Amino acid sequence: MCLCSVTVVHTMPEGRAVAGVTSLGDEIYLLRDKARDEVEVYDVVSYRLQRCLTVPNAQSNARLFSDMTSCEHLLCLYISDDIAECIHRLDLQGNAQQWLVNDRPSCLSVNAHYNLIVTCRVVGKIKVFSPRGEFVRDVILPGDVTNPWHAIQLTSGQFIVCHGERDDPMHRVCKISSDGRHIVRSHGGQRGLDTSQYRWPCHLAVDYNEFVFVVDFFIHPVTLLSPTLEYVRQVVSCHQLNGQPNRLCLDVQQGRLYVADNDLDDSELTAGRVVVFSV
């Protein structure tokens, strides 16, 4: 990973709000807030639209989706459905499977065993599912990890978790033990504007060396932390985006960081785009 300044290499087309972005092979996948053709598929080099995928059995009368991630080994996409409290799994031809979470799912990641890591913000826990939707286990997070948004499991079994929104007492990125009981390290604290503070850390990416990229909805759009969660630098500044960033994807092979950048109007996300940075 390069620690020098990142640069904007492309801005993908504006459209409905972006609820998720991921990459798989030679394609980029954008999840939009709309009733059909929710997943837009772009070429990773030319950034040209290749096709669209529709999420079957998704309700069309409300904002549905919280996040999207991909599994390179199984060549599939996972989408969290906040309204139906379920996960949609799509293969690259659009064939679908669906299973219940029985809690409201927030953001998603895939661990080294290809299991799906589902963060359930309202109940303060992580749920782990097999690639086919079989429930594996619950991880109940410490009580002061309020409103957890996104969790990524490291090869050690520990979790990197970002949490906190609005008036919560703590806004942090935490490294949490594999059983969920203990906070091993943390970065952040009370909400603020300093480089050691956050206002709404809502999504994460982790590279092969366990450096952590943190997107904050309101300040320091993307921050880089060391594997021990020490501040390294601001990766993306607010001047490089037009709206409020809320989702990240790091493509190590291509050397690209994809940042979902949405317009906020009266507490609603409206138009959105993805800004592509070199890393």
Q: Where along the chain do its domains lie?
A: 7-278
Assign 177 to helix, strand or coil.
coil
Q: Dihedrals φ, ψ of 101, to 5°?
A: -95, -30
Q: How confident is the model at residue 64 (pLDDT cuts 50, 70, 90)?
A: confident
Residue 60 reports pLDDT greater than 60: no
* Average pLDDT of the residues in 4-29: 92
Name residue 196's amino acid: S
Spatial contact of 54 and 5, defined as CB atoms under 8 Å apart: no
Spatial contact of 100 and 85, defined as CB atoms under 8 Å apart: yes
Residue 2 reports pLDDT greater than 80: no
Q: CB 16: neighbour CB atoms within 10 A? A: 19
- What percentage of the chain carries pLDDT values higher than 70? 96
Domain 7-278 coded CATH 3.30.1330.40: no
pLDDT tens digits, one per residue of 147-200: 999 999 999 999 999 999 888 999 999 999 999 999 999 999 887 777 778 989
Find, among 226, 232, 219, 221, the residue nearest to 257 by Cα. 221
Tell me how far apart the alpha carbons of residues 88 and 90 are, in angstroms, rounded to a whole number. 6
Spatial contact of 64 and 34, defined as CB atoms under 8 Å apart: no
Structural tokens at position 247:
């989702």
Report the pLDDT value the prediction gives residue 59, as an integer from 0 to 100. Answer: 63
Residue 40 reports pLDDT greater than 90: yes
Tell me how far apart the alpha carbons of residues 237 and 53 are, in angstroms, rounded to a whole number. 32
Report the pLDDT value the prediction gives residue 190, as an integer from 0 to 100. Answer: 82
Regarding pTM above 0.75, the answer is: yes
pLDDT tens digits, one per residue of 207-263: 999 999 999 988 879 999 999 999 999 999 888 998 899 999 999 999 999 999 999
Concatenated DSSP letters of 202-252: EEEEE-TT--EEEEESSSSSEEEE-TT--EEEEEE-GGG-SSEEEEEEEET
Averaged pLDDT of the chain: 92
Spatial contact of 29 and 44, defined as CB atoms under 8 Å apart: no
* Average pLDDT of the residues in 71-87: 95
* Average pLDDT of the residues in 106-127: 98
Structural tokens at position 130:
């097999």
